[in-house]
């Protein structure tokens, strides 16, 4: 008799085949704009993790402290979940996507009000082995 078709079993099998095996870490709702995060991410893209940690430690930007913690988390994920060694890892992908914007009101002269936009971003780092 033929195997019974089930939508969930089909989707489960399909998703298992397409699962991402590279270690990664994602930070959602980071209180830094995408433009400011990308300055730091562009500096470390493609580098090995030890060099990237050194760059982030001495970068004067606020986003570098956030991204440094995220990179350390991705390294820990690679070691604990995938059994990779930290010496062979490099940053395969790193990007920041736009998150929601908090809108605030700033009082101005003559009774006017200006809108202040406090932007957020979702930052992702994907590592790989050399």
Give a three-class secondary structure readout of 4-62: CCCHHHHHHHHHHHCCCCCCEEEEEEECCCHHHHHHHHHHHCCCEHHHHHHHHHHCCCH
pLDDT in tens, 74-109: 999 999 998 899 999 999 999 999 999 999 999 999
Tokens of 112: 């006017």
Instruction: Catalogue all structural domains in the chain, each as residue range(s) with its CATH number.
Output: 23-129 (3.90.470.10)
Tokens of 97: 């996507």
Per-residue model confidence (pLDDT) at position 19? 77
pLDDT in tens, 7-35: 888 888 888 887 778 999 999 999 999 99
**Cα–Cα distance measured from residue 68 to residue 98, given in angstroms and rounded to the nearest whole number:** 19
pTM: 0.82
Per-residue model confidence (pLDDT) at position 73? 96
> Which of 43, 42, 51 has the alpha carbon at shortest distance from 95?
42
């Amino acid at each position: 008799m033929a195997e019974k078709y089930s939508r969930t079993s089909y989707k489960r099998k399909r998703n298992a085949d397409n699962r991402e095996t590279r270690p990664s870490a994602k930070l959602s709702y980071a209180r830094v704009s995408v433009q400011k995060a990308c300055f730091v991410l562009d500096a470390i893209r493609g580098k090995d993790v030890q060099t990237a940690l050194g760059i982030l430690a001495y970068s004067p930007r606020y986003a570098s402290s956030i991204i440094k913690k995220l990179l350390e988390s991705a390294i820990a994920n690679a070691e604990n979940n995938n059994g990779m060694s930290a010496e062979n890892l490099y940053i395969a992908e790193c990007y920041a996507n736009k998150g929601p914007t908090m809108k605030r009101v700033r009082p101005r002269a003559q009774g006017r009000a200006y809108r202040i936009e406090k932007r957020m971003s979702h930052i992702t780092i994907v590592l790989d082995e050399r």
